[in-house]
């Protein structure tokens, strides 16, 4: 009688034949870059044109075959998600709520312009940690205290970050905060133009990827 395990003994897993470096180089696949948009859920006090810039940034993420990650909320992240979806992109949201019902009825948050929403159940502070760590880079547009919290988490994690300036709020405070904190500037780039900022952020991500390969 043939050994029922003989097939398994002779079979070689294709994945074992490929080195991690080749996988990173994209011989089998390449993970899409994930960019988190961090910004205020309220846009009443942002500079004129800020919402349009958030949408434009979302479109840039989608047009470059990347994934947009948001806090599944209103305001700046919502408009960035709208831009990404209208450009045919993928948008993933991380909600502070524990369920879709709580997301909509308790937190009063939207579900449109997203492909997938993960209900963390960790309220805003816990959600912020998951949100920034799920991304390859974090981009700040406008913002208030919650946005500053997301920025400092990503800063401590040495995550690539971009800050859109000239829009008011947290965005226009961060550079001074970093200078006055005497901790260095970290992996943070600044620009008032969404397209230029996007290119700078991608360059930071690619630098991190090259260091992983090396």
CATH number of the domain that residue 135 is part of: 3.40.50.450
| 20 has pLDDT over 60 | no
According to the model, what pLDDT value does residue 13 have?
54
Stretch 101-106: mean pLDDT: 98
> With b meaning 16 or more CB within 10 Å and e meaning fewer, what string describes 57-69?
bbbbbbeeebbbb
According to the model, what pLDDT value does residue 154 have?
98
- The pTM is what? 0.87
Higher-scoring residue by pLDDT: 3, 32: 32
| 17 has pLDDT over 90 | no
Give the model's confidence band at 18: pLDDT under 50 very low, under 70 low, under 90 confident, else very high: very low
- For residue 140, give its domain range: 32-213
Please report whether residue 21 resides in a domain: no
Please report whether residue 126 resides in a domain: yes
**Residue 91 forms beta bridges with which residues?**
68
Please report whether residue 15 resides in a domain: no
């Amino acid at each position: 009688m043939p050994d029922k395990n003989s097939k398994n003994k002779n079979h070689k897993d294709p994945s074992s034949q490929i080195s991690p470096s080749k996988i990173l180089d994209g011989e089998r696949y390449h993970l899409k870059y994930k960019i988190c948009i961090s910004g205020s859920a309220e846009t009443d006090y942002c500079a004129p044109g800020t919402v349009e810039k958030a949408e434009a940034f979302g479109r840039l993420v989608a047009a470059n075959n990347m994934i947009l990650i948001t806090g599944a909320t209103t305001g700046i992240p919502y408009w960035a998600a709208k831009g990404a979806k209208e450009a045919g992109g993928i948008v993933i949201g991380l909600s502070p709520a524990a369920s879709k019902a709580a997301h909509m009825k308790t937190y009063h948050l939207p579900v449109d312009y997203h492909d997938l929403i993960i209900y963390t159940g960790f309220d805003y502070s816990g959600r912020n940690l998951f949100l920034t760590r799920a991304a390859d880079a974090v981009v700040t547009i406008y913002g208030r205290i919650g946005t500053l919290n997301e920025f400092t988490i990503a800063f401590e994690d040495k995550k690539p970050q971009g800050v859109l300036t000239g829009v008011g709020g947290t965005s226009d405070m961060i550079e001074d905060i970093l200078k006055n904190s005497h901790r260095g500037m970290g992996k943070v780039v600044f620009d008032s133009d969404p397209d230029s900022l996007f290119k700078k952020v991608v360059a930071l991500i690619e630098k991190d990827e090259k260091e992983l390969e090396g």
